[in-house]
Each structure stands twice: as structure tokens, then as C-alpha cells.
Amino acid sequence: MRGTLTATGIALVVLAGYTLSCIIRPFRDCWLCKGKAHHRSKRNPKLSRPCRWCRSSGKRLRFGRRLWNRARRVHRDTGVTAR
């Protein structure tokens, strides 16, 4: 019983930390171009082309922030109001 409570507490702390980091820094570097907005071709390393994953911005929206935005959009579209 005590181990389950400890594991749950640790999971909640990690989840709260990730949520806070998604609020503070919603974007991260693109995994393909590593934030440079262009990436090198594997066949010819001299060629550099715009990154299609980040659309040449070098940044991508984090997964947690994407979930948060979708939840806000669903909440707004359903017309639910807090009382």
C-alpha cells in the first residue's frame, strides 16, 4: 500500500513538472533540423534544404501543449461555462 502511494505521488509530481514546463516553454527544437530550420541530405551532405517538419521555423509545439490546446478548443466549442 505504501509503495503504491509513493509511486502515485512521484507520478503526480512528474506530471505537474511536465505541465509547468509546457506552460513556460510550449515550443521545442525540431527533431530533424535540431532548431536550425534546414537539414542536410543523407545522400549528399553538401545539400541543405528547408525542414518540412517544422516548416522552416526550427521549433515544434510540444505534445503536452498540443493536448492542452485541443482540450481548450473542445471546451470552448461545446459552450460549457464555469459557475
What confidence category does residue 69 fall into, taking pLDDT thresholds of 50, 70 and 90?
very high
The answer as to whether 15 is a domain residue is yes
The answer as to whether 28 is a domain residue is yes
The answer as to whether 23 is a domain residue is yes
Rounded Cα distance, 69 and 78, in Å? 14
The answer as to whether 26 is a domain residue is yes
Task: Examine the pLDDT at 25 and tell me if it is beyond 90.
Answer: yes
Rounded Cα distance, 83 and 11, in Å? 30
Task: Examine the pLDDT at 79 and tell me if it is beyond 80.
Answer: no
The answer as to whether 83 is a domain residue is no
Residue range(s) defining the domain that contains residue 67: 2-78
Indicate the number of domains in the chain: 1
- Amino acid at the residue 65: R
The answer as to whether 74 is a domain residue is yes
* pTM across the whole model: 0.68
